[in-house]
């Protein structure tokens, strides 16, 4: 079992948000700034990124997480500008909404590079410093698409499933350390570019409409999601599933790992 940790104060903490130029990332950066954090925002789009950083008094670091040259040493560059990182929010993602046969090789490569490789590499870069300082939080933002299989979200769902499994395994590596990792599983979030892309698929649009008719999956706003993610990070929560009513789906996915925990009990 992980030793209990006191909540991490976001006020005065240095936090990093990837994919922060728009949508959930931008809302999260603003939420964290209102809580007194020093925020470094990372994204490809220079103009909106710098405008956001100026608005919240943070640091903007332009980087394309699909490019190894930008990703290598990124945490060191961030810390050189604003100090040690206390919380890493792996939020950046790309979504290709199409049948696999209609996707390009570049679509698939970029999806896995941004959604899987970049979060794993940023965790690898940030962890030594967190261990040395005796504190830290990592938050990986995934999706319900990574828990259930949707046609036309073949690649996106696979990358999010990979991110979820990566974070679950990382949680187990961090059990006896002062660092915690949180898995965030998001449902539909209104007004985001990713959601609008998804709804271009007739299949996804039809499923979304059906769920809305029976009110099975409430649609959230970026601001609502940002507040919940900030709370989960501060608490070092194991997972955040929103909307909460689909939490059992996440727990079912995690059941084999929980059972495996019994085999690992008492082992380092």
Catalytic residues: 156
Whole-number Å distance between alpha carbons of 69 and 64: 9
What does each C-alpha distance from 81 to 35, 74, 102, 169, 198 come to in angstroms? Answer: 21, 11, 42, 31, 36
Tokens 């954090």, located at residue: 37
Q: Print burial letters for 25-54: b (CB count within 10 Å at least 16), e (below 16).
A: bbbbbbbbbebebbbbbbbbeeeebeebbe
CA neighbor of 229 nearest in space, from 193, 191, 185, 188: 185
Tell me how long the chain is.
Answer: 268
- Long-range contacts of range 238-243, CB-CB < 8 Å, 24 or more positions apart? 238/171, 238/182, 238/183, 239/182, 239/183, 239/184, 239/185, 240/182, 240/183, 240/184, 240/185, 241/184, 241/185, 242/184, 242/185, 242/186, 242/187, 243/187, 243/217, 243/218
């Amino acid at each position: 079992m992980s030793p209990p940790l006191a909540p991490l104060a976001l006020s005065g903490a240095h936090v990093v948000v990837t994919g922060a130029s728009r949508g959930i990332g931008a809302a999260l950066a603003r939420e964290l700034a209102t809580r007194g954090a020093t925020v470094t925002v990372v994204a490809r789009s220079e103009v909106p990124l710098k405008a956001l950083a100026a608005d919240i008094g943070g640091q903007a670091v332009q980087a394309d997480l699909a490019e190894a040259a930008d990703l290598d040493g990124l945490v060191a560059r961030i810390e050189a500008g604003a100090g040690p990182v206390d919380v890493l929010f792996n939020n950046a993602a790309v979504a290709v909404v199409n049948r696999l046969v209609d996707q390009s090789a570049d679509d698939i490569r970029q999806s896995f590079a941004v959604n899987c490789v970049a979060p794993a590499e940023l965790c690898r870069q940030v962890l030594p410093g967190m261990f040395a300082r005796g504190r830290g939080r990592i938050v990986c933002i995934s999706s319900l698409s990574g828990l259930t299989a949707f046609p036309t979200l073949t690649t996106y769902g696979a990358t999010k499933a990979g991110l979820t499994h990566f974070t679950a395994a990382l949680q187990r590596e961090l059990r006896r350390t002062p660092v915690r990792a949180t898995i965030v599983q998001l449902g539909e979030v209104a007004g985001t570019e990713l959601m609008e892309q998804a709804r271009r698929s007739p299949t996804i649009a039809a499923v979304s409409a059906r769920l809305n008719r029976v009110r099975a999956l409430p649609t959230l706003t970026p601001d609502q999601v940002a507040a919940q993610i900030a709370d989960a990070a501060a608490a070092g929560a194991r997972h955040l599933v929103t909307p909460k009513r689909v939490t059992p789906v996440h727990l079912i996915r995690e059941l084999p790992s929980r059972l495996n925990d019994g085999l690992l009990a008492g082992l380092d």
